[in-house]
Amino acid sequence: MNDLLLRRAAVDGAEVDVRVDGATVTRIGSPGTLGRAEREIACGGGALLPGLHDHHLHLLAMAAAAGSVDVAGGLDDALRRAHARARPGAWVRAVGYDESASGVLDRRRLDALAPGRPVRVQHRSGAMWVLSSAALEAVGAGPSGPAGLEREPDGHPTGRLFRLDGWLHDRLPDHDPPDLAAVGRRLASCGVTGVTDCTPTTSPEAWHVLADAVRHRTLPCTVAVTGGPALSEAEPPGDLRRGPVKIVLSDHALPDLQELVGWLRRAHRVPRPVAVHCVTRAALVLALAAWQEAGSVPGDRVEHASVTPVHCLASLSALGITVVTQPAFLRARGDAYLHQVEEEDRPDLYRCASLLEAGVPVGGSTDAPFGPDDPWLAVAAAMDRRSAAGEPVGLDTGLTAAAALDLFLAPLTQPGGAARAVRAGQPADLCLLGLPLAEALVQPSSRHVAMTVSGGVVTYAR
């Protein structure tokens, strides 16, 4: 029997001993009253919290990003270097492209930077890939490609592919399965014990890769998956939990209202809630119209809610929709938003406090690898709502430290629900900090995480 005794941990501000047997917290008592255990940890008064839940990220994309060239710091140099290093004919995969920093990117520019090389560069949002001519040829992007393959007036592809991940994946040469171990270690080091993978997967193949990683504890946490509308009725394999159905309302080609209503009804019939990706005002208004017609079920969510006009707050609340948002974008991209986002949308960026005040449950997430992967950074940004340069972003006021942390403490199946607590009888999914909670929340950071326990097993120790 795996038993563990956490000595002198601060739970809800009181110093206690906490005993774990198997995968469950079994007893909490005054220091020195719970006997001995196989493994004892001196916590020194550090805060013991439930393990954090990241309610929206992309595990396979996180693993792939680790093996890619990051072009965020300078696209031309990074690609020239990668081209010089790679063996002849090998693909170069790059991430982090942002047109405001690097300018317009198409196949011609890639061909000049890496002559003859198959190159694919992902937009920082994850919504677009840019392919070089050799890459386009390798994936067979000829005259009869799918919608989403942008073309010049003469019919040649520009190299830009919008929301075609599945199509692209089926045509790329086989690679080794992505290494999820580094992702698992990183999540554990942040105190994360549960995640929802919000990828709109169209085939269950990706789920099997994740289920294997959970079974082998390469991913040492609870994993819920979404999948797109085509997988509404599918049951995830292994120990994967079934999350909501992910519906992407693409920014440049919104679906027709009746099509969206159909997706909502299909998921609700299963029954499953939906998670609708809305990063623009238009997408949110469309989603709300669809919910008005199809009805909502508990657990229905809006992902991101990057722009929420005031008049949408009451509708979200009346429909019982949860918002799963990413406050860390305020820090990571706030300075760009202040220049690029249309003036009328700026006050409405990444709301938290005003959603909560309107009675809309709010869950926290990172959207890694498209946002910073440290949930503690999101907690910090939810509190001060400042860009990296220190500018306030959006009209909302910041959350209190406790409310910001609670964004990441709700049950995986109920983002925005009541925060979990460390209690006897609860799963032993725990995050131990090296200092008291109030001190950690002065400057929230994963640096404060001293130990993570997931399912009763220590998955990280500093």
Q: Which residues bind Zn ion (CB under 5 A)?
A: 367
Nearer to Zn ion, 17 or 165 (CB): 165
CB of 301 to Zn ion, least distance (A): 12
Of 458, 322, 454, 462, residue with least CA distance to 50 = 454
Two structure tokens written together for 290: 């669809």
Helices 375-384 and 328-340: crossing angle in degrees, nearest 10, is 60
CB of 198 to Zn ion, least distance (A): 5
How far, in Å, CA of 184 to CA of 218, rounded? 6
Q: H/E element holding 48?
A: strand 48-50
- Check if the beta carbon of residue 275 is closer than 8 Å to that of residue 244: yes
CB of 238 to Zn ion, least distance (A): 23
CB of 365 to Zn ion, least distance (A): 8
CB of 93 to Zn ion, least distance (A): 19
Q: Beta-carbon neighbour count of residue 41 at 10 Å? A: 22
CB of 325 to Zn ion, least distance (A): 11
305: left (phi over 0), alpha (psi -120 to 50) or beta: left
Nearer to Zn ion, 248 or 430 (CB): 248
Nearer to Zn ion, 105 or 278 (CB): 278
- The sign of the torsion formed by the CA atoms of 189, 191, 196, 198 equals negative
How far, in Å, CA of 138 to CA of 172, rounded? 8
Nearer to Zn ion, 54 or 367 (CB): 367
- Check if the beta carbon of residue 266 is closer than 8 Å to that of residue 257: no
Nearer to Zn ion, 283 or 433 (CB): 283
Nearer to Zn ion, 224 or 432 (CB): 224
Nearer to Zn ion, 123 or 420 (CB): 123
Nearer to Zn ion, 110 or 164 (CB): 164
Strands 430-433 and 48-50: antiparallel
Residue number with the smallest Cβ distance to Zn ion: 367
Two structure tokens written together for 389: 């340069």
CB of 155 to Zn ion, least distance (A): 32
CB of 367 to Zn ion, least distance (A): 4
- CA dist 301 to 224, 233, 264, 289, Å? 15, 18, 11, 14
